[in-house]
Amino acid sequence: MLLLNDIEKLVIHIDTKGKEIIKQDKQQVWVQVQAGENWHEFVLWCLENGFGGVENLALIPGNVGTSPIQNIGAYGVEVKDVIEKVHYIDIATNKKQILLNKECQFGYRESIFKKELKGKTVVTSVVFKLSTTNHKKNVAYGAIQTKLTEKEINNPTIKEIANAVICIREEKLPDPKKIGNSGSFFKNPIISINKFKDLHERFPTIPNYPVYELQPNSKSRMQNSELVKLAAGWLVDQCGYKGKRIGDAGVHEKQALVLVNYGNATGKGILSLAHFIQNSVKEKFGVTLEMEVNLVT
């Protein structure tokens, strides 16, 4: 979130706690977690209990209740991969409601809670479906591979994967307890293959990733060969913004995708830096950067 003004209205901080195993079979466990639980503490609790599925999402700041809203993701995993359902209160009717995973319209940093239900719900708890054995490990992400190789680990446990992720995040991303930031400020843009071919000719080292889409009526994901995902951090970096600051609003020195507040920047100051960046990227690459943060007025 980026607060653009001081908020002169009632603010409710959801601080409900509790993690309950509600169902278990030979290979999986279903855990209902209250919205106010700290996300990373929940990940650590899963690791202590040998529950797999969230290890790649270690050290993401925030609470469990916000995780489905943004569909938080990192290192090849998104929280939608382990969410069974989301409990929420409909603010207009004051009624408790439940949405199943497939009803949440999850996408890349997207969900129904940011679209048609925006501002209309309070998420109260999330039910996760986690593995207790035969964990599906996601170690394909380059930085994880490098970190595991450095530590000479061939067949990592879920704890070792989490530790690798924690190391990578600590090296690259600023700790919001020490310096104000909201993680990646922009989403990685998705562009057409034709536009990509043109960019690739002009910038041969441009990082790019395939785009996968969930097939209707099936759980399998297929590559969409018409689309390519770019690294917003690289685009911003190439425009020369890394480590730059305007007053106390700055671009992190190790990750150009993260905007930071060195102390006294206002929300509007951060936003105007973001607009400068968007304009530069548009001018140099013809690519529009969409904000990942939610602007709160």
Q: Could you list the residues that contact ligand EPU (CB under 6 A)?
A: 74-75, 143, 172, 183-184, 187-188, 207, 231-234, 237, 242, 255-257, 292
| Residue 60 C-beta: closest distance to ligand EPU, Å | 7
* CA contacts within 13 A on the Cβ side of 140: 5
CB 264 within 8 A of CB 277: no
Of 31 and 228, the one with the shorter C-beta distance to ligand EPU is 228
Question: Tokens at residue 28, please?
Answer: 């999986």
| Residue 256 C-beta: closest distance to ligand EPU, Å | 3
Catalytic residue among 109, 111, 131, 182: 109
Catalytic residue among 67, 131, 182, 184: 184
Position of minimal CB gap to ligand EPU: 183
Of 80 and 85, the one with the shorter C-beta distance to ligand EPU is 80
Of 214 and 231, the one with the shorter C-beta distance to ligand EPU is 231
Q: Does the active-site annotation cover 245?
A: no
Rounded distance between C-alpha atoms, residue 236 and residue 247, angstroms: 19
| Residue 182 C-beta: closest distance to ligand EPU, Å | 7
Of 255 and 261, the one with the shorter C-beta distance to ligand EPU is 255
| Residue 236 C-beta: closest distance to ligand EPU, Å | 7
Q: Does the active-site annotation cover 218?
A: no
What are the residue numbers of the active site?
Answer: 109, 184, 292
